[in-house]
Amino acid sequence: MRTAIGLAGIAFCFTLLAVRCAKKGEPVMDGFVDVNGASFYYKSVGKGEPVLVLHGGPGLEYGYLLPRLPQISDVNRFIFFDQRSCGRTIGPFDSARMTIPQFVEDIEGLRKAFDLGKMNLMGHSWGGLLALFYAVRYPEHLKSLILISTAGASSDYLAPFVENIRSSRTEKDAAEMNRLQDAPGFKTSPERVEAWYRAYFRSFFFDRKLADQLVVKLTQQSVDVDAHDFLFKGLTAYDIHSRLDSILVPALIVHGKQDPLPALCSERIHDHLPNSRLVLIDRCGHFPFIERPDTLTGIFKGFMNSL
C-alpha cells in the first residue's frame, strides 16, 4: 500500500503533559507528536523494550486498553496513541486523509518520531488489521508483530462476524441500543455513544459479568461518524492474505475461542505468516486482557522472550 504523502518535514513535537507513576512504579508520560500534518496524542506506560500499540475501532480511542493491557508485562514500554480523527489527536481529518494508506504512513511517522528502529507492533481488533497493512508496506521496519483478536485479512469475515454478534445479543441489550440510537442527537453525543458501546460490547464477552470492566470513553471528535465512514469505504472488499506470505518477522496471534469475530480470521492469517504462532484461548471473547489476563501475560512474555 503506497501513498503519495511523504514523510519529509516530519516534526517531532515532544510536548510533555504529565509524568506520573503507575501502580508498580512504571513511568507514565503523555504528550503530542506531530506527524503528517496531524498532532497525535500518545501515552507511554512502563519501561523496557517498547511496543507500539494500535487500538481498535475504527473510531475508538486507546483508553479502553488501559489499565489492563500494560499489566501483561513489567519489562516493556507500551506506547499508545489516538489514531487520526480519534480522541485528542488534532486534525486535519478530511476524506483524502481518512484512508488506510494514510493510517499506515501515520504509524511509520510515529515509528520515526519515537526512534523505534525495528519495532514491536501490536494491534487489537481493527488495530490488528491495521498492523497487517503496515507489515505489508514496511516489513523491514518490524522486529515483531503481535495481533490480539484481530480483524480478518479479507472482508470475508464481516458477514459471519455481524451474525455472531446479533445471535449472541440479549433482548435487553438490543432494546437499550435501539433506545439510545433513536434518541435525538445520538450521533453527536459522546455520552450516548459510550452508553451504546457498553450495551454493544456485552456480547463480545464469554463472561458477560466482566463486560463492565471495559471502559470506553469518547471525545466529541471520536463520534464524528462521517469521518470514519470514509475509512470504512476502503474496507468493503479487500484480501491481503497472499501479501502476508513474504512477512518473515516473528508474529504472535492470540484469539479467544468465544470471540464473535471468527477464530478462522486468525487461523487464516497464521497460515500465511511463515514465522507466526497462533494461540486460541478458551473461555474468552474479544478482550483477553480483561477476561484472561494471566493467560495472556504468560503467552506474551513467552513470545517476547523468544525474540
What is the reported pTM? 0.91
Please compute the mean of the pLDDT values over residues 15-36 and round it to a whole number: 63
Residue 116 has pLDDT above 90, yes or no: yes
In a domain, 66, yes or no: yes
29: phi then psi, degrees, rounded to nearest 5: -130, 145
Residue 225, in any domain of the structure: yes
Question: For residue 94, what pLDDT is reported?
Answer: 83
pLDDT tops 70 at residue 2: no
Domain assignment of residue 5, yes or no: no
What is the overall mean pLDDT for the chain? Answer: 90
Q: Kindly report the number of other CB atoms within 10 A of residue 268's CB atom.
A: 18
pLDDT beyond 90 at 75: yes
Contact of 149 with 259, CB cutoff 8 Å: yes
The CATH number for 166's domain is 3.40.50.1820
What are the φ/ψ torsions at residue 34 (nearest 5 degrees)? -90, 120
Tell me the mean pLDDT in the region 7-35: 53
219-278: pLDDT as tens digits? 998 887 677 788 888 788 999 999 999 999 999 999 999 999 999 999 999 999 999 999
Given a cut of 70, is residue 216 above it in pLDDT? yes
Angle at 170 between CA 168 and CA 176, to 5 degrees: 130
The per-residue pLDDT for 26 is 56
Which pLDDT belongs to residue 21?
35
Residues 302, 307: Cα–Cα separation, whole Å: 9
Task: With respect to residue 9, please indicate whether it lies within any of the assigned structural domains.
Answer: no
Cis peptide before 293 (omega within 30 of 0): no
Inside any domain, residue 7 = no
> pLDDT confidence of 24, banded at 50, 70, 90?
very low
**Residue at 6 is within a domain:** no
Could you read off the pLDDT of 169-185 as tens digits, one per residue? 999 999 999 999 999 99
Number of domains in the chain: 1
Among 39-48, 95-104, 276-285, whose mean pLDDT is lowest? 95-104
pLDDT at 182: 95
225 lies in which domain range? 15-305
H/E element holding 44?
Answer: strand 38-46
Query: CA–CA separation, 37 vs 40, rounded Å?
Result: 10
Burial 173-198 (b: 16+ CB within 10 A, else e): beebbeebeeeeebeebeebbbbbbb
Share of the chain above pLDDT 70, in %: 91
Q: What phi, psi does 84 have (nearest 5°)?
A: -50, 130
- Asked whether residue 1 is assigned to any structural domain, the reply reads no
